[in-house]
Amino acid sequence: GGGYLEVDISRNLITSGAANSLLKLWEASPDLRVLKLFNNQLGDAIGDYFRQLFRLCPEIEEIHLSHNHLTERGAETIVTAAVANLAPAR
């Protein structure tokens, strides 16, 4: 394990274009539990990267994504990735 347990990069101007940087952060933080990305500029394109998040950080418990530019399509992509890649809560 290692890396961060909680990451708060909320209230910035982060767009889906930052996905590769987020991926590097997730790769370095396999024990990540809480990810705060609210109040940014993330769009539906970020959804596919969450599949990687769930594989790299299987113990993730909270993801805060309110106040971004996600539509129903992006939200569905994220939830589908979570169901496919995360174990049920114990």
Helix (H) or strand (E) holding 61: none
Averages of pLDDT over runs of 10 residues in the chain (90 residues) are: 92 93 94 97 94 94 97 96 83
In a 3-state reduction of DSSP, which class is residue 49? helix
Q: With contact defined as beta carbons under 8 Å apart, do 54 and 23 qualify?
A: no
Q: Are 26 and 32 in contact (CB under 8 A)?
A: yes
Give the global pTM.
0.90
